[in-house]
Amino acid sequence: MRGKNLKIRLLIGAAIALFFVLKKCSQQEVNKYTGRTQTISMTPDKEIAIGLQSKPQMEQQYGGLHPNNKYQALVDKVGNKLVNNSIARKTPYKYEFHLLADPNTINAFALPGGQIFITYALFSKLDNEEQLAGVLGHEIGHVLGRHSAERIAESEYWQGLTTAGSVGADMGGLVSNIGQNKLLTNGRDDELESDDLGVQFMINSGYNPEEMIGVMEILKDAAGSNRVPEFKSTHPDPDNRIEKIRKAIKKYKNQ
């Protein structure tokens, strides 16, 4: 009887796993702006809606918007210049740039659909407009690369396989660990792709892409001894990013 129950569980687990594998295959599409095949489970309109819905929460989390209109105008100017001089202008996304008031958290991030944020803590450490272009160009790359949408779809896939493993053979924990490692690896690839796109956007807009290396140095100094080992982080080590950025600069300048 016990053997029969195990067989039934294995069949159910296999069926669940097959469902999510087929679902993932049906969600494959080529990003026409990057040429990369991705797993995507939502439309651009849905990405835009998620970003707009999450925007107030993000603002609140980082102390609201910065009150200095001059600083905000600079962020808008640089962000819009990058969009208008790149393939980003051809996307359906609604790019908006926000300077957050947080004076302590060094961060910049993008929500799905085009909502892009930079904290005052990071803004205040930048040496010039071109470094700001490096930060914003990188975040535009995340939007155009549809990285949030891809991570959501990939997470759904691995959650499904984890369920299948738990039902079928008590292997949900193992599958979950494999999935987490895969998502971390994909996250690092997203950062490198965004760096590459950021370099391209900077060159197209007349900015010196070498200044993106300066941004990496700022991030490295800010992390100090608290830097997380690369294999445990969604972000590549800054030194590795600098190496890839140099290669991207050479690639795009020679085109």
Question: What is the rounded distance in angstroms from the CA atom of residue 215 to the CA atom of residue 138?
Answer: 11
Chain segment 13-27, per-residue pLDDT in tens: 565 555 445 556 656
For residues 249 and 209, is the Cβ–Cβ distance under 8 A?
Answer: yes
Chain segment 211-226, per-residue pLDDT in tens: 999 999 998 888 665 5
β partners of residue 117: 98, 109
Computed over every residue of the chain, the mean pLDDT equals 82
Pull the structure tokens for residue 168: 């079928």
Chain-centroid distance, C-alpha 135: 13
Chain segment 86-139, per-residue pLDDT in tens: 999 999 999 999 999 999 999 999 999 999 999 999 999 999 999 999 999 999
pLDDT score of 184 more than 50: no
DSSP state of 131: H
For residues 124 and 100, is the Cβ–Cβ distance under 8 A?
Answer: no
CA neighbor of 187 nearest in space, from 105, 109, 79: 109
Q: Which helix (H) or strand (E) holds 118?
A: strand 115-119
Chain segment 35-89, per-residue pLDDT in tens: 998 878 789 999 999 899 999 999 999 999 999 999 999 999 999 999 999 999 9
Question: What is the rounded distance in angstroms from the CA atom of residue 13 to the CA atom of residue 9?
Answer: 6
Question: What is the rounded distance in angstroms from the CA atom of residue 225 to the CA atom of residue 221?
Answer: 9
Q: How confident is the model at residue 175 (pLDDT cuts 50, 70, 90)?
A: very low
What's the half-sphere exposure (Cβ side, CA atoms, 13 Å) at 220? 14
